[in-house]
Amino acid sequence: MKEKWKSIWYKLRSMRIQVFAVVFLVGILPVILFSNIVVKAYNAQIISQKTNELKAYGNVISNLALSTGYLSGQESDAVERESEEVANAYQGRVLIVDSNLRVIKDTYGLEEGKTAISTEVIQCFYSPDSEYINEIGDYTQLTIPIVDSATGSVSGAVLISFSMKSLNLLVESVNYRLLLIMAAIAIFILLFAYLYSNFLSKPLTKMRNTIDNVTNGDPDVSLSLSTYSEVATISDSFNKMLGHIKEQDESMKDFVSNVSHELKTPLTSMKVLSDSLLSQTGVPEELYQEFMGDINNEIERMTQIINDLLSMVKLEKNQANMVITSCSINDLIEQLLKRIRPIAAERNIELIYESFRPVIADIDEVKMSIALNNLIINAIKYNYDDGWVRVTLNADHKFFYVKIQDSGVGIPEDAQDKIFERFYRVDKARSRETGGTGLGLALTRSAILLHRGSIKLHSKEKEGTTFTVRIPLNYITTET
Ligand code: ADP
C-alpha cells in the first residue's frame, strides 16, 4: 500500500504533470470565472429590463385608475383595456386593489370582490414610495401603490404578475451555448497544456537517455539541445563533462598501457636472464653471480616504479589529504641538500644554495619535499660531470619562489611540453641508466598543484635548465 502511494506521489512530482496542471488551471479558471460573471450580469439585465417595462405599464394603469375614479367604483374602459392588454402581452395577470384591500379588477376574473391580504399589498399602504418584487414559482409579482398626488395618500395598488418561463428559456439557451463554447475552450487549453508540458519535458527526457547511454558504456554520445537558453547551457556543460570523462578514460587507458609496458621491460630482462641460466648446465658461479646481480637490479627498478606509482596515487587523490603546517622553507631545502650533496659529489657537481630571506609558509612538508627533491635530483642526473646546480629561494608578500638551475644537457624545445607527462623521458636509455621512471616530474607537478602553485621551465640544449616553482605563502583551501 505504502509502495503504491509512493509511486503515485512520485508520478505527481513529475515536472510534466505539474506544468500540465498549472497551464490547464491557469487557462481554464479565468474562463469559468469570466463566463459566470457574464451569465449572471446578462440574466440580471434581462430581468431588470422586463421589470422596468412592467413598472411603466403599472404606473399607466395606476394613473388611469386614479384619473377615471375607477377606485371609487366608476366604470372605466381605459383601465380595463389597459389591464387586459398588459396581462396578454406578458402572459401574466393584473389585479387592482382599492383602499379597502378589495380586488376590483382581476384579469383572470377569479378574485374580484375578494380581499387581497398579501404582505406586499399591506406594505404598500404603509410606505407608498416603494414597489415590491417577489417571485412565486415561475412568476414574478410586481406590487405598485396607487398614490393620489393631491393628498399623497395611497388609494390602492396594482399587482402585475408575469411568467418568467420564456425568460428562463432564453437564459437557459444562452447558458447552453456558453457551455459549448467553454467546452471547446477547455479542450483547446487541455491540448495546449499537454503539448506544452511535453515540449518542456522533452529535453530532460533526451538528457536522461543520453546519461543512460553513457552509464551503459557508450561515451561517444553528445547532446544538442537548443529549445531554451537554460537547456542549451546545461547541454553545453554536459558535453564538456562528457569530453572530460572521455579524456580521463583515454588517459587512464594510456596510463595502464604505459604502466604495463614499463613493468614488462624489467620482467622481460629477468626472463631472458633466468632462461639462459636454466638452459645451461654447469654454469660457473661467477656467471650466476653476475646474472643474479642483474636480476636484482631489475627487481629494484620494478620496486622503484611501483613506489613512484603509489606516491602518485596518493598525490593525485585530493586536497583532503593535505597535511598543512607552517614550515621554514629554508630549513626544508637545507635538509634536502644535505641528503643530496653526496650524490652530487660523486660526479663532482657543485651544489650551490642561495637564500634571499627567511621564508615561512603553510605547506605539506612531505609533498613539498618530494617535489623539490625530484627537481634537484634531476638537475644532477641530467648534468655533465663537474657541472653545477644552483638552488635559490626568494619570496614576496604573497608567494615564495624556488629556482633550480643546472648546467646540464638541457631539454629539447619540442619535449618541454611533454616532460611533465607520466612516463615521458627525453632519452629513455639515459633515464634508465640513472634509474629514472619518467614519473618524477609528474609527481612534482601534482604536488605543486595541490599547493595551488605553479612550475615554469626554461631550458636550452647543452647549456642547462631552470625550473621555477611558485607557491602561495598561505595555503588556499578552496579554488576561487
Ligand atoms: P625521470 O625519472 O626519467 O627522471 P622525470 O619525470 O623526472 O623522469 O623527468 C622526465 C624527463 O625530463 C627526464 O627523462 C629527462 O629527459 C627530462 N628532464 C627532467 N629534468 C631535467 C633537467 N634538469 N635537465 C634535462 N632534462 C631533464
The answer to whether the CB of 406 is under 6 A from ligand 1 is yes
Q: 393 and 375 in contact (C-beta within 8 Å)?
A: no
- Ligand 1 centre from 271 Cα, in Å? 28
Residue 243 Cα, ligand 1 centroid: separation in angstroms?
30
H or E element that contains 264: helix 229-279
Element (H, E) at 391: strand 388-395
Q: Which atom of ligand 1 is nearest to 427's Cα?
A: 16
- pLDDT tens for 112-123 read 888 877 788 888
Cα(399) to centroid(ligand 1), Å: 26
Cβ–ligand 1 contact at 441 (below 6 Å)? yes
Q: How far is the CA of 254 from the centre of ligand 1 (A)?
A: 20
Atom 4 of ligand 1: nearest residue by CA position:
436
191-200 own/partner pairs: CB under 8 Å, 24+ apart = 192/23, 192/27, 193/19, 193/20, 193/21, 193/23, 193/24, 193/27, 194/20, 196/19, 196/20, 196/23, 197/15, 197/16, 197/17, 197/19, 197/20, 197/23, 198/16, 199/227, 200/15, 200/16, 200/19
Closest atom of ligand 1 to CA, residue 435: 2
Quickly count: other Cβ atoms within 10 Å of residue 80's Cβ.
Answer: 17
pLDDT per position as a tens digit, 219-255: 677 888 877 888 889 889 988 988 888 888 887 888 8
Read off the C-alpha cell for 395.
619570496
Give the mutation target among 305, 311, 378 for probing the ligand 1 site: most ligand atoms within 8 A of CB. Answer: 378
CA-CA distance, 177 to 171, in Å (whole number)?
Answer: 10
What lies within 8 Å, CB to CB, of 43 at 6+ separation is 171
> Residue 256: which of 309, 316, 303 has the closest Cα?
309
Residue 318, pLDDT score: 67
Nearest CA to ligand 1 atom 19: 378
Domains delineated in the chain: 17-170 (3.30.450.20), 230-314 (1.10.287.130), 319-472 (3.30.565.10)
Q: Evaluate: CB of 382 within 6 angstroms of ligand 1.
A: yes
For residue 328, the CA-to-ligand 1 centroid distance in Å is: 27
Which DSSP category does 477 fall into?
-
The predicted structure's pLDDT at residue 480: 43
446 lines ligand 1 (CB under 6 A): no
Find out whether 364 and 451 touch, Cβ atoms under 8 Å. Answer: yes
Q: Which atom of ligand 1 lies at the shortest distance from residue 374's CA?
A: 7
Please name which of 408, 400, 442, 427 lies closest in space to residue 305, comparing C-alpha atoms: 442
Pocket test for ligand 1, best of 305, 411, 456 (most atoms within 8 A of CB): 411
Q: Which atom of ligand 1 is nearest to the CA of 464?
A: 24
| pLDDT at residue 358 in the model | 96
Going by CA atoms, what residue is nearest to atom 20 of ligand 1?
A: 378
Atom of ligand 1 nearest to the CA of 406: 23
pLDDT at residue number 231 = 86
Phi, psi (rounded to 5 degrees) for 175:
-60, -40
With a 6 A CB cut-off, is 426 part of the ligand 1 pocket? yes
Cβ–Cβ < 8 Å for 105, 79: yes
- Please state the atom number of ligand 1 nearest to the C-alpha of residue 410: 25
Residue 352 half-sphere exposure toward CB, CA atoms < 13 A: 11
DSSP string for 273-304 = HHHHHHH-SS--HHHHHHHHHHHHHHHHHHHH
The H or E element containing residue 401 is strand 399-406
Ligand 1 atom 16: residue of nearest CA: 426
Take residue 226 and report the three cell numbers written for it.
Answer: 537548443
How many other C-beta atoms can be found within 10 angstroms of the C-beta atom of residue 32? Answer: 12
Are 198 and 189 in contact by the 8 Å Cβ rule? The answer is no
* Ligand 1 pocket, residue 411 CB under 6 Å: yes
Q: Is the CB–ligand 1 distance for residue 373 below 6 Å? A: no
91 torsion bin: left (phi>0), alpha (psi -120 to 50), beta (else): left
pLDDT mean for each 10 residues of the chain (480 residues) = 85 87 92 88 86 89 89 86 90 88 89 82 76 74 85 86 82 87 92 92 88 82 81 89 84 83 88 90 89 92 88 73 92 96 95 97 93 96 96 97 97 93 81 77 92 96 97 79
Q: 437: Cβ below 6 Å to ligand 1?
A: yes
- Index of the ligand 1 atom closest to the CA of residue 431: 3
The amino acid sitting at 345 is A
Residue from 116, 137, 119, 117 nearest 127 by CA: 119
